[in-house]
A and B are shown apart, each in its own frame.
Chain A
Amino acid sequence: MSFLYLVRRTHLYLGLFLLPWVIMFGVSSIPLNHNNPTSPPAWTTVTDVPFSAAVPATNKAEDLRGVGREMMNAAGVTGGFYVNRPNPRQLNVHHPKFLGSTRLFYYIDEKRLVAERQAFAPRMFITGLHTRGGYTLGGFWDSMWAVFVDLVSIGLLLWIVSGLIMWWKIPGTGLRRWGWIALASGAVCFTVIMLRL
């Protein structure tokens, strides 16, 4: 097995495996780059129950995750979540989900927990796929999604390197010359745009 053979096969099979992510990152960039104002998605109350939990006297998200987990359990929601405290009397939890997120509000003084479910919105679904990432949500499958985001990023770098190798190995000076022109003109355009932005 030659080096070039390995490069070609890695380029191909990795591309086929990660094809849905590549198409998704491409297509989901359209609504982000063409930002037409849309009405915010509707939220429906699905739970409104008495609830009581000890809340640490802090605004640090990492210290609030314990009570955040209690809120998730009380509302019967599983998976990763963000938690924040917008004011001393309220704790918010956001559980992102591509098909419709859930948000929880703990009104501390009222000892009351409210859960709301977001209606499915195609735009939110597509942009959610694009913007979701990171290992801080705490859910197992959320972290696995982050692993795939890493894999796609590394895949992109591998496709660039393997693409350059395959271009360089193509016989004939014409293709190489035009390739140099494409590479150089891209670098010049990129530099000029960055310096002007």
Chain B
Amino acid sequence: MYLALFLTPWMVGYATSTLLMNHQAGRPVVFMRESEQPYNTSFESGTPPRVVAGQILSDLDLEGTFGVAPSPDGKLTITRQDIVAPWRITFYPSDHRLTIERARADAVGFLYRFHRRRGYEPPYAADRAMAFSVDLVIVAMVFWALSGLWMWWEMRVTRLWGLACGVLGIALFSFFAFAI
């Protein structure tokens, strides 16, 4: 019970985001221009795009998990993940210029990003904490299922209908898993 109460925000987030994803409610992220500024740091040719992007984010005080997409014309597009409102920074090396854009915060986008955020790869404390919380939710879901089974078995009066519900659920799930 206490574990369930502690994990209530996560479970509300996963349930609502699953509903939205199942109905394709997501929309492309709309970025709004925040600022444009000169950027005079020069990089040796051949510097890996991730190194350049990391330096730019560090200079902007925006360190965190990011993706980077270089263009043939030298332009570098950096997407700095932010679960509420992601950033997009574009570096134009020939102009020594940066444009900084931020996504408009919206509930649907937040829930999509929340649902998909996982993994221990990013070296940041918040990402690790999120990944740990995902593991906690996993353990909790299995624990609730097993403890629920035990509590049901302890209530003799519910055994028959409970068994019917359980068998029907297992039969339907097995059919789906093997047939589609």
- Residue A119 at the chain B interface, CB threshold 8 Å: no
Nearest chain-B residue to A80 (Cβ)? B180
Kindly identify which residue among B19, B83, B151, B166 contacts A17, using a CB–CB cutoff of 8 Å. B166
Taking a contact as CB atoms under 8 Å apart, the answer to whether B22 and A16 are in contact is: no
- Residue A50 at the chain B interface, CB threshold 8 Å: no
* B-contact bits for A63-103, CB 8 A (1 contact / 0 none): 00000000000000001100000000000000001110000
Known A16-B169, A34-B119; further 18 A-B contacts with Cβ < 8 A: A13-B158, A13-B165, A16-B149, A16-B162, A19-B170, A23-B141, A26-B145, A27-B142, A34-B120, A133-B18, A141-B179, A150-B19, A153-B19, A178-B2, A185-B6, A189-B133, A190-B10, A195-B84
Bound complex: CA A189 to CA B3 (Å): 13
Q: Return chain A residues, CB-CB under 8 Å to B16.
A: 153, 157
Kindly identify which residue among B23, B133, B138, B176 contacts A30, using a CB–CB cutoff of 8 Å. B138
Bound complex: CA A186 to CA B12 (Å): 12
Q: Return chain A residues, CB-CB under 8 Å to B51.
A: none
Q: Return chain A residues, CB-CB under 8 Å to B84.
A: 194-195, 197
> What are 23 contact pairs spanning A and B, CB under 8 A?
A9-B158, A12-B158, A16-B148, A20-B169, A26-B138, A29-B134, A34-B120, A98-B177, A134-B21, A134-B23, A134-B24, A139-B180, A146-B22, A156-B18, A160-B4, A160-B11, A160-B15, A164-B8, A178-B2, A179-B1, A182-B5, A183-B5, A197-B83
Kindly identify which residue among B3, B4, B131, B152 contacts A16, using a CB–CB cutoff of 8 Å. B152
Taking a contact as CB atoms under 8 Å apart, the answer to whether A19 and B149 are in contact is: yes
* A-contact bits for B85-122, CB 8 A (1 contact / 0 none): 00000000000000000000000000000100111110
By a beta-carbon cutoff of 8 Å, the part of chain B in contact with chain A is 1-16, 18-19, 21-24, 81-84, 114, 117-121, 125-127, 129-131, 133-135, 137-142, 144-145, 148-149, 151-152, 155, 158, 161-162, 165-166, 168-170, 172-174, 176-180
Give the interface centre of B4, B11, B81, B126 by most chain A CB atoms within 10 Å: B4
Main secondary structure of the interface of B (DSSP, over half): helix
Bound complex: CA A26 to CA B120 (Å): 17
Q: Return chain A residues, CB-CB under 8 Å to B135.
A: 33
Taking a contact as CB atoms under 8 Å apart, the answer to whether B162 and A13 are in contact is: yes
Nearest chain-B residue to A149 (Cβ)? B22
- Residue A113 at the chain B interface, CB threshold 8 Å: no
Bound complex: CA A25 to CA B11 (Å): 12
Nearest chain-B residue to A79 (Cβ)? B180
Bound complex: CA A141 to CA B134 (Å): 30
Q: Return chain A residues, CB-CB under 8 Å to B129.
A: 193, 196
- Residue A54 at the chain B interface, CB threshold 8 Å: no
Kindly identify which residue among B131, B138, B145, B180 contacts A142, using a CB–CB cutoff of 8 Å. B180
Taking a contact as CB atoms under 8 Å apart, the answer to whether B6 and A186 are in contact is: yes
Given A30-B138, A33-B135, A190-B9; A167-B22 close (CB under 8 Å): no
Taking a contact as CB atoms under 8 Å apart, the answer to whether A154 and B6 are in contact is: no
Bound complex: CA A149 to CA B142 (Å): 18
Bound complex: CA A150 to CA B23 (Å): 9
Kindly identify which residue among A19, A129, A135, A186 contacts B169, using a CB–CB cutoff of 8 Å. A19
